[in-house]
Amino acid sequence: MASESLSKKFWEASQEWVEHEKAASLLEHLRSATLSEMMMKQGDIPVSRAEMAVKATEEWKEYNKLMVASRSAANNAKVKMEFLRMRAMEQQSREATARAEMKL
């Protein structure tokens, strides 16, 4: 019964990680496109100047903060999932030890 509960918790944690990982990856993959889109709004100015102007905006800073927060959430969800995996392994080890002791 306890292992079923642990399995369910692991499943839920893994699904949470998948969702956070998806969001973080999307933001990371769209970073370049987002920068380009924001640079295009600067008008007909040199690319280096447009990039510098965009990277100085609050909008760009907020995008990057969101991207980092999203990656952090994915990392935390992964740690939670791995913790549950470790608990399951520890439980299996305790059970195996108990069985071995019973045979003695």
- Over the stretch 26-37, which tens digit does the pLDDT of each residue have? 999 999 999 999
Work out the average pLDDT over 6-21. 95
Has residue 101 got a pLDDT over 60? yes
Query: What's the pLDDT at 72?
Result: 98
Token output for 41: 């709004």
At 104, is the pLDDT very low, low, confident or very high (cuts 50, 70, 90)? Answer: confident
Token output for 34: 């987002």
Q: How far is CA 4 from CA 11, 14, 47, 65, 101, in A?
A: 10, 15, 57, 38, 24
Query: What's the pLDDT at 54?
Result: 98
Q: Using CA atoms, how far apart are residues 22 and 20, in angstroms rounded to an integer? A: 5
pTM of the model: 0.81
Has residue 49 got a pLDDT over 60? yes
Work out the average pLDDT over 81-94. 93
- Residue indicated by tokens 């990680």: 17
Mean pLDDT of the chain: 94
Burial 21-31 (b: 16+ CB within 10 A, else e): bebbeebeeee
